Chain A
Amino acid sequence: GENVEQHPSTLSVQEGDSAVIKCTYSDSASNYFPWYKQELGKGSQLIIDIRSNVGEKKDQRIAVTLNKTAKHFSLHITETQPEDSAVYFCAARTGRRALTFGSGTRLQVQP
């Protein structure tokens, strides 16, 4: 089955700096890669996703890049704000199969 590894497990940045979270996956057939933000006591919220036929996708301060050859994808958050502080999970899926999640990154944005 799919295995997703995520790094780093914790990340602390100053407000206004950029944050990068990286994930690798094992199943070369995986074709969908979402990122979720989980705040304390809340469900996970999809913040951006990318499909395997695209190398990069951007939505305002958030971008995701995908390298299919190397089987890794990354989340980039620019101009970080304190409200970006949360746990971020990457995930991967193949076709209709369930998502496999990474282990999560706790991002702390220091004001």
Chain B
Amino acid sequence: AAGVIQSPRHLIKEKRETATLKCYPIPRHDTVYWYQQGPGQDPQFLISFYEKMQSDKGSIPDRFSAQQFSDYHSELNMSSLELGDSALYFCASSSLEAGNYGYTFGSGTRLTVV
């Protein structure tokens, strides 16, 4: 079965650079979530989209933005990167309309800022 696809798997950037993370949800899933997980920490919710509209906002810094496109894939854009942005970034999708409340997570993008 198709899973949530995230790219790239690993990314190394320098301070003050920009990064774009991509997420391809499971087909027919209508909701996408982005989470940031620091080393040894629980996933922290950043932002979500339902039917291409932002539906919920968590602890996403102003330097970050995200959007969901017409094909339902989502991109997380990160600018003016800081060392503290180094983390594992997870994307998850679900289909609330289908009663599928559980997330399916991607394998994550490990971002290292040097």
Residues of chain A having any CB pair with chain B under 8 Å: 6, 32, 34, 36, 41-46, 49, 51, 89, 93, 96-104
Residues of chain B having any CB pair with chain A under 8 Å: 4, 31, 33, 41-45, 48, 50, 55-56, 58, 90, 96, 101-108
Q: Is B42's CB under 8 angstroms from A103's CB?
A: yes
What is the CA–CA distance of A34 and B107 in the complex, to the nearest angstrom?
A: 18
What is the CA–CA distance of A46 and B103 in the complex, to the nearest angstrom?
A: 7
What is the CA–CA distance of A42 and B104 in the complex, to the nearest angstrom?
A: 12
B90 cross-chain contacts in A, Cβ below 8 A: 43-44
Give the total number of A-B pairs whose CB atoms are below 8 A apart.
52
What is the CA–CA distance of A6 and B42 in the complex, to the nearest angstrom?
A: 10
Query: How would you classify the secondary structure of chain B's contact residues: helix, strand, loop or mixed?
Result: strand
What is the CA–CA distance of A40 and B41 in the complex, to the nearest angstrom?
A: 13
What is the CA–CA distance of A51 and B31 in the complex, to the nearest angstrom?
A: 19
Within 8 Å by CB of A97, from B43, B56, B102, lies B56
What is the CA–CA distance of A41 and B107 in the complex, to the nearest angstrom?
A: 8
**Residue from A44, A46, A96 whose CB has the most chain B CB atoms within 10 Å:** A44
B45 cross-chain contacts in A, Cβ below 8 A: 98-100
Q: Is B108's CB under 8 angstroms from A102's CB?
A: no
Within 8 Å by CB of A93, from B58, B101, B104, lies B101
- Closest residue of B by beta carbon distance from A48: B102
**Residue from B4, B42, B104, B106 whose CB has the most chain A CB atoms within 10 Å:** B42
Q: Is A89's CB under 8 angstroms from B107's CB?
A: no
B43 cross-chain contacts in A, Cβ below 8 A: 44, 89, 101
What is the CA–CA distance of A46 and B4 in the complex, to the nearest angstrom?
A: 13
30 residue pairs of the A-B complex, CB under 8 angstroms, read A6-B42, A32-B101, A34-B102, A34-B103, A42-B107, A43-B4, A43-B90, A43-B105, A44-B43, A44-B90, A44-B105, A45-B105, A46-B103, A51-B101, A89-B42, A89-B43, A96-B31, A96-B50, A96-B55, A97-B56, A98-B33, A98-B48, A98-B58, A99-B45, A99-B103, A100-B45, A101-B42, A101-B43, A103-B42, A104-B42
